[in-house]
Amino acid sequence: MRSSTATEQLHAQLVQRNLDDGAELLRAAPPTDAAEALRRLESGHQALLLDRVGSQRRPQLLALMPPDERARMLTDSATAESWVDELPAAEAAETRRLLQYPPESVGRMMTQRMLELSASDRVAAALDRVRRCEPEVDTVYRLPVTDAGMFVGMVELRDLLSAEDDDHVGAHSQDVRADALSPDDDQEVAARRVLSTEALAVPVLDAEGALLGVVTIDDAMEVLGLEEAEDAAKTSGVDPLRRPYLTASLLRLVRSRAVWLVVAASAGVLTVQVLDHFEGELEEVVALALFIPLLLGTGGNIGAQAATTVVRAMAVDDLRIRDLPRVVWREASVGVMLGGLLAVLAALPIALAYEPKLAAVVCLTLVTVCVIGTSAGSVLPLVVGRVGGDPAVVSAPFITTLVDATGLLVYFAYARMVFGL
């Protein structure tokens, strides 16, 4: 209990302190507590701390990390190869096997800390192996079964517990090769597949059908949590910090936001140019300027809502590029209904406070910008995803800029038509 409490306290301190103080804490703490607290951090933060902790303590902490977590962390380190050389021979060889796979692939997230059973094993012998090796493996509730070195299925521990001692393990295994993963599969896609199967562990096979490892449901949930946090940051036009907020320097915070802020500000020049072009209309009907923030805010918000919905549907594989026509039709219809609702609410107050013509212009524009916003929010993520980009990136800055510029053009076009300008 004391060790668990010490680990929790150390972890809490690591996310609050700067990197140099955190490295000092890791050097002073008992190795097992330090390694366990380190495991609870994001991989980017782990790499930064280990870079500062020094070559005397670093190999010890690396060796205490599970191989799959070690491989994911070394992806974020510029000195990964030299760190692997510091490990004992067995751990170094195991780590290099995982590092041969692409970053953010299943090969980097799978665990080889598994109990592999033979189809010809007796149930009694298999259960005895489970009892003896449980602390050394990541999961015993769903175990891989092989025959002559080739994967044949997975067996549930509860099925073994209810089987006769003399039964062969193969008689109780399930053929799940259709659900198996490849080591080159994308982590996020694979993690969603693991959750969709509701299995505690899913096998990873090579091209010949040999067992390489398993992906546990815990690892799948961890990967999805990190991916969704990254998508949320990108949706807001922010690069992920990959470390606790209080450990990030002010320069890091600025750099994470500056790029997209500059892009958005540069694109905002389009809005200024549109306003400059219609300066004459604004001079003739001054009240038109009062509703520009309302219209731009509405268009940007509804576009972001549509984009968030579509990006989420893409993430869970509900939408693909072939669904584009149906998605655009549905979102345009949603835009008409939402715009109509806002127009109905706005029409009477604007007509009474100003004049009916201005109410007509604002209401027509509300409907149109809502359609533009929902259409842009549905089209851009799908197109960006199709060409290999990150759909989450387009959600905030690009959609807002597009809707702002087109919304103003529509607004002044309706003003010219209604007022005869």
pLDDT in tens, 332-358: 999 999 999 999 999 999 999 888 999
Least confident of 41-45, 101-105, 388-392: 388-392
Q: Compute the residue count for the chain.
A: 421
> Average pLDDT in the 406-421 region?
85
Q: What percent of the chain has pLDDT over 90?
A: 22
What is the model's pLDDT at position 275? 67
Q: Which residue has the higher pLDDT, 16 or 273?
A: 16
| CATH code, 2-100 | 1.25.60.10
Strands 142-147 and 117-118: parallel
| Residue 187 reports pLDDT greater than 80 | yes
Amino acid (one-letter) located at 19? L
53-85 burial: b if 16+ Cβ within 10 Å, else e: beeebbbebbbbbebbbbbbbbbbbeebeebbe
What is the model's pLDDT at position 397? 67
What is the model's pLDDT at position 238? 65
Q: In which residue are the tokens 């919905």 written?
A: 309
| Residue 10 reports pLDDT greater than 80 | yes
CA–CA separation, 256 and 266 (whole Å): 17
Amino acid (one-letter) located at 182? S
- CB of 183 within 8 A of CB of 204? yes
What is the model's pLDDT at position 343? 93
**pTM of the predicted protein model:** 0.67
pLDDT band at 365 (very low <50, low <70, confident <90, very high): very high
Least confident of 125-134, 192-201, 224-233, 234-243: 234-243
The percent helix, strand, coil of the chain (3-state, each to 5) is 70, 10, 25
pLDDT band at 295 (very low <50, low <70, confident <90, very high): confident
| CATH code, 268-419 | 1.10.357.20
CATH superfamily, region 117-225:
CBS-domain (3.10.580.10)
**pLDDT, tens digit, for every residue of 129-176?**
888 876 678 888 899 999 887 899 999 999 999 999 899 999 999 988
- The conformational region for residue 105 under phi > 0 = left, psi -120 to 50 = alpha, else beta, is beta
What is the model's pLDDT at position 2? 43
What is the model's pLDDT at position 132? 84
Determine the distance from the C-alpha atom of residue 353 to the mean position of all C-alpha atoms in its chain, rounded to a whole number. Answer: 47
Domain spans of the chain? 2-100, 117-225, 268-419
Task: Please give the backbone phi and psi of residue 47, each rounded to the nearest 5 degrees, phi first.
Answer: -60, -40
> Average pLDDT in the 43-49 region?
84
| Residue 245 reports pLDDT greater than 80 | no
